C-alpha cells in the first residue's frame, strides 16, 4: 500500500508539472497572436500614411504636411521593426516551451515505469525487507504525513507547505522527515517561488545527503534554476546529480536533459 502511495504522489507531481508546461506554452502562443494582430493594425496605418504621402507628393503644395507624414511613416516603420523582434522572441519561446513539454512527458513516462517496476519487484519478493522510510514510521506519523501529502496532490500548495513544515516540527526525527522536506520544496515550486524551492531542497541535501529523495531534490533544484533562466547553474546541478547519484532514476533524467540541451545548442 505504501508503494502505491509513492506511485500516486509521483503521478500527481508529474501531471501538475505537465499542466504547468502546457499553460506556459499556451500563454506564449496567446501573446504571439496578440502581437500579430497589433502588427496587422500597424501595417494598415502605414499603408494609409503612404497614401497620404503620395497625395502630398502629387500636389507638393504643403511642405510641412509632407514632412509630418514622412515622420509618421518612419515612426510606424520603427514600431513594426520592434514588434517583429518581439514576435521572433515569442515564437522562439513557444518552440522552447514545446520542446521542454516533450522532454517533460518523456521524463514522466520514465519515472512512472521505474516506480511500477519497483512495485512489481517488491510484490514478487515477499521475503525482501522493506526499504522505504515509511515502513518504519509510526501510525501517527503516517497519518500526519499523508494528510500533508494529500494537500499537495490536490494542488493546495500553500497548505501543503504548512502541513509538511508542521510535520517536521512535530516529528523532527521521523524517518519521513527527508520526504517531508522534499515535498515542501516541491510545493514552493508549485507556487512558482523558485528561490525558496531551491533553498528548501538544499536544506534537504545538507541534512539528509543519503536520503532516497536527495537525487530528486537536486533534480528539482536544476528545474528551478532553468525556469529562472540560470541555465549554466542548472547544467552544473544536473552534472552533480549524475556524479553523486549515478544509479538513480534522477541521474537518468539528468542525462536526458543534458543531451537535449546540447542538441539545442549545437549549430544546425
Question: Are 200 and 188 contacting, i.e. CB atoms less than 8 angstroms apart?
Answer: yes
Give the helix ranges, DSSP H, for 60-138.
63-123
Q: What is the pLDDT of residue 209?
A: 93
Of 254 and 17, the structure prediction assigns the larger pLDDT to: 254
Residue 20 has pLDDT above 50, yes or no: no
Percent of the chain at pLDDT exceeding 90? 42
Q: What is the mean pLDDT of residues 158-180?
A: 95
Give residue 138's pLDDT band: very low, low, confident or very high (50, 70, 90).
confident
pLDDT digits (tens, 9 = 90+) for 215-249: 999 999 999 999 999 999 999 999 999 999 999 99
Q: What is the pLDDT of residue 128?
A: 41
Number of other residues whose CB lies within 10 A of the CB of residue 234: 21
Give the helix ranges, DSSP H, for 130-230.
139-153, 157-170, 177-190, 194-207, 214-227
Of 19 and 103, the structure prediction assigns the larger pLDDT to: 103
Quote the cell numbers at residue 251.
541521474
Residue 63 has pLDDT above 60, yes or no: yes
Its pTM surpasses 0.75:
no
Amino acid at each position: 500500500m505504501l508503494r502505491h502511495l509513492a506511485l500516486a504522489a509521483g503521478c500527481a507531481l508529474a501531471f501538475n508539472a505537465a499542466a504547468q508546461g502546457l499553460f506556459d506554452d499556451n500563454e506564449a502562443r496567446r501573446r504571439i497572436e496578440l502581437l500579430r494582430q497589433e502588427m496587422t493594425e500597424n501595417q494598415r496605418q502605414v499603408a494609409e500614411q503612404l497614401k497620404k504621402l503620395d497625395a502630398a507628393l502629387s500636389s507638393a503644395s504643403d511642405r510641412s504636411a509632407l514632412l509630418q507624414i514622412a515622420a509618421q511613416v518612419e515612426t510606424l516603420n520603427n514600431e513594426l521593426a520592434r514588434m517583429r523582434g518581439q514576435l521572433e522572441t515569442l515564437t522562439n519561446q513557444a518552440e522552447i516551451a514545446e520542446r521542454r513539454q516533450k522532454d517533460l512527458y518523456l521524463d514522466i513516462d520514465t519515472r512512472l515505469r521505474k516506480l511500477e517496476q519497483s512495485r512489481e519487484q517488491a510484490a514478487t519478493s515477499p521475503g525482501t525487507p522493506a526499504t522505504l522510510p515509511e515502513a518504519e514510521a509510526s501510525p501517527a506519523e503516517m497519518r500526519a504525513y499523508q494528510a500533508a501529502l494529500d494537500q499537495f496532490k490536490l494542488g493546495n500548495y500553500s497548505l501543503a507547505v504548512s502541513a509538511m513544515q508542521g510535520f517536521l516540527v512535530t516529528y523532527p526525527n521521523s524517518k519521513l522527515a527527508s520526504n517531508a522536506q522534499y515535498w515542501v520544496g516541491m510545493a514552493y515550486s508549485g507556487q512558482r517561488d523558485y528561490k525558496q524551492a531551491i533553498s528548501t531542497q538544499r536544506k534537504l541535501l545538507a541534512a539528509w545527503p543519503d536520503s532516497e529523495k536527495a537525487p530528486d531534490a537536486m533534480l528539482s533544484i536544476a528545474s528551478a534554476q532553468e525556469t529562472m533562466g540560470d541555465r549554466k547553474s542548472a547544467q552544473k546541478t544536473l552534472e552533480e546529480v549524475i556524479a553523486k547519484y549515478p544509479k538513480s532514476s534522477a541521474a537518468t533524467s539528468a542525462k536526458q536533459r543534458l543531451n537535449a540541451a546540447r542538441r539545442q545548442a549545437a549549430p544546425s
